Amino acid sequence: MTAENIKAEILRLTREYSKLTHKAQRAGDDPSQAEFVVGETTVPYAGRVFDEDEVEAAVSSTLDFWLTLGKEGEAMQEELAQFMGVKHTLLVNSGSSANLVAFSALTTHKLPEHKRIKRGDEVITVAAGFPTTVAPIIQCGAVPVFIDAKVSTGNANCSLLEKAYIPEKTKAVMMAHALGNPFELVTVLEFCKKYDLWLIEDNCDALGCTYSLPLEKAKELGLDHLIKLSSKEGRNEEFPRIKNNTLTAYTGTFGDISTQSFYPPHHLTMGEGGSVNIIRRASLKTYAESFRDWGRDCWCPSGQDNTCCKRFQWQLGELPEGYDHKYIYSHIGYNVKPLDIQAAIGRVQIKRLPKFIEMRKINWQRLRKGLTTLENHIEFALPTHATKWNEDGSFEWDESGCRTDCSWFGFKMTIKDEAPFTRTELAAHLDECKIGNRMLFGGNLVRQPAFVQLRYDDEKAMRVATELPQADRIMNNTFFLGTYPGLSEDMIDYMIKVICDFVALRVSES
């Protein structure tokens, strides 16, 4: 029996094994998904969604035993960049590492002095969110400057950006698109253009979200890369596109650099993993790649030598002329690459992305319609620029001419102050009923122990530019449920029933 035949038999058995053992991880509309039993089956807030294709890809890559990032990684980087519409994508081992590498790339000495982020420079961010959106700012010696959020969207209140700005100190804006809801990109882009600031989009919760703005505004903001790409012949991707004098593109493609997470709760998974997306400035790829790969100056892929044809002809730093370029380090870097096995899984997941994105939207709408009678007690999320949700699933919009189409990471709810129950009481009840739920990550980050200690150790290490009442309200009253593609209709209906019954009981007792 040949090695090829043995491998084929292993992969055949792998698929059979996966079909028998991974039924709970199949998509919610898959008839092969494990049966949902009320009171017994846990309804997660998020999780891996896969079938035998991913398992086969992982086992096949393992049998090849290249292990470190190789041909699968190269292919996934190209496929993800093509899907999003960015110049380059670099895979890393987590979304947190992606944020660290992306931010570090903007600190390189190879940038013009006025653009380089140095120690003590300030970066504007939002107080409500996940800590590793902010951590790289501190880890690189810069100063995070916090502004308040909006409860309705979970994103920054971008009208406060000017209050946070200090000439010659502010160098960048770094924020996340919260729970798959884009922040006000048009406002942030106007602000960054006005003051020549970097924009780092943390897109970890928002793969597949789109943002639309008037074409004339897009031209004014210098989004030429998206306008040009939308008219490129032979493109198979849906976005970016121009229709009715409106430009629509994926989030993570508007700023200078963006990040993704491929942790299991996210839109696609590699187990652990993430990526840095180089949106328009090709040189940032070289800087980000250096920080990702030990800080080295060489760009040769692992296992390849002398792609520059000058391996022994460089003289950099105080090294002797001819020192091996593979061991020259221009940055204080990291080693945060994923495995090629993970990329093999990710490549299969990319093929599922359009379906996953649509299922997240459908699941959000099913929850929103099922809970509409609770509006007196619960404030439900709205997409950025929306002013109202309608029972047919449509939205009413503000006068900006901008729209958002959310690939929801979660279904956000904020308990109103006058409600006869608290967020914690409802969340605990859901937990008892085996319905997964989560807070909006760190709530008001400046109240987290790590940031309290940071301020105690050095009062200049961070700055709070505005009052933070809405971030506090998110901290005290907000939580979210799942919208991920593994939820079946029965699971969602159960979630709706449990919440409605809980509220009805508390109202009757009040």
For the chain, report the end-to-end CA distance as a whole number of angstroms: 75
Residue 413's pLDDT is: 98
Domain count within the chain: 1
The percentage of residues in the chain with a pLDDT greater than 90, rounded to a whole number, is 94
The pLDDT tens digits of the residues spanning 341-383 come to 999 999 999 999 999 999 999 999 999 999 999 999 999 999 9
Residue 154's pLDDT is: 98
Q: How far apart (Å, rounded) are the C-alpha atoms in residues 310 and 489?
A: 60
| Active-site position among 88, 266, 267, 331 | 266
pLDDT greater than 80 at residue 291: yes
pLDDT greater than 70 at residue 236: no
The percentage of residues in the chain with a pLDDT greater than 70, rounded to a whole number, is 99
At 435, is the secondary structure helix, strand, or coil? strand
The pLDDT tens digits of the residues spanning 437-455 come to 999 999 999 999 999 999 9
Residue 235's pLDDT is: 62
Cα–Cα distances in angstroms (integers) from residue 198 to residues 84, 128, 322, in the given order: 20, 21, 36
Average pLDDT for 22-47: 96
Average pLDDT for 406-434: 98
138 in Cβ contact with 144 (< 8 Å): yes
Burial of residue 90 (number of CB atoms within 10 Å: 0-12, 13-18, 19+):
buried
Burial of residue 3 (number of CB atoms within 10 Å: 0-12, 13-18, 19+):
exposed
In a domain, 61, yes or no: no
235 in Cβ contact with 258 (< 8 Å): no
Provide the pLDDT confidence category of residue 305 given band limits of 50, 70 and 90: confident
Residue 307's pLDDT is: 79
Q: Which of 81-90, 305-314, 477-486 has the lowest mean pLDDT?
A: 305-314
Return the structure tokens found at 46: 């998020």
Provide the pLDDT confidence category of residue 399 given band limits of 50, 70 and 90: very high
270 in Cβ contact with 58 (< 8 Å): no
Residue 234's pLDDT is: 57
The alpha carbons of the chain give a radius of gyration, in whole angstroms, of: 24
Average pLDDT for 448-463: 98
Provide the pLDDT confidence category of residue 306 given band limits of 50, 70 and 90: confident
The pLDDT tens digits of the residues spanning 150-161 come to 999 999 999 999
Among residues 147, 136, 89, which one has the least CA distance to residue 468? 147
pLDDT greater than 60 at residue 471: yes
Q: How far apart (Å, rounded) are the C-alpha atoms in residues 111 and 196?
A: 14
Amino acid in position 291:
F
Helix pair angle (283-292, 95-105), 10° resolution = 120
Mean pLDDT across the chain: 96
Q: What angle do CA 74, 80, 81 make, to 5 degrees?
A: 90
In a domain, 231, yes or no: yes
pLDDT greater than 90 at residue 133: yes
Distance of CA 493 to the CA centre of its chain: 28
Provide the pLDDT confidence category of residue 9 given band limits of 50, 70 and 90: very high
In a domain, 388, yes or no: no
Cα–Cα distances in angstroms (integers) from residue 186 to residues 103, 136, 149, 189, 230, in the given order: 22, 25, 17, 5, 18
Domain of residue 234, CATH code: 3.40.640.10
- Spell out the alpha helix ranges (H) of 39-89: 52-64, 71-84
Query: Among this protein's residues, is 429 annotated catalytic?
Result: no
Q: Which of 31-40, 135-144, 299-308 has the lowest mean pLDDT?
A: 299-308
Among residues 140, 103, 90, 82, which one has the least CA distance to residue 336? 90
Residue 300's pLDDT is: 77
The pLDDT tens digits of the residues spanning 210-232 come to 999 999 999 999 999 999 999 87
In a domain, 131, yes or no: yes
Average pLDDT for 317-345: 95
Return the structure tokens found at 418: 């006058």
Average pLDDT for 50-74: 97
Return the structure tokens found at 480: 């979210």
Q: What is the pTM of this model?
A: 0.97
Residue with tokens 């121009």: 242
Provide the pLDDT confidence category of residue 101 given band limits of 50, 70 and 90: very high
In a domain, 34, yes or no: no
Average pLDDT for 73-80: 98
Provide the pLDDT confidence category of residue 38 given band limits of 50, 70 and 90: very high
- Cβ neighbours around 64 below 10 Å, total: 15
| Residue 240, preceding peptide bond in cis (omega within 30° of 0) | yes
In a domain, 176, yes or no: yes
DSSP string, 274-305: EEEEE-S-THHHHHHHHHHBTTBS--PPTT--
pLDDT greater than 60 at residue 421: yes
At 73, is the secondary structure helix, strand, or coil? helix
In a domain, 239, yes or no: yes
Enumerate residues 6+ apart whose C-beta is below 8 A from 193: 221, 222
Residue with tokens 């942790």: 263
Return the structure tokens found at 4: 């090829």
In a domain, 236, yes or no: yes
Provide the pLDDT confidence category of residue 298 given band limits of 50, 70 and 90: confident
Q: Which range of residues forms the domain containing residue 196?
A: 71-301+317-327
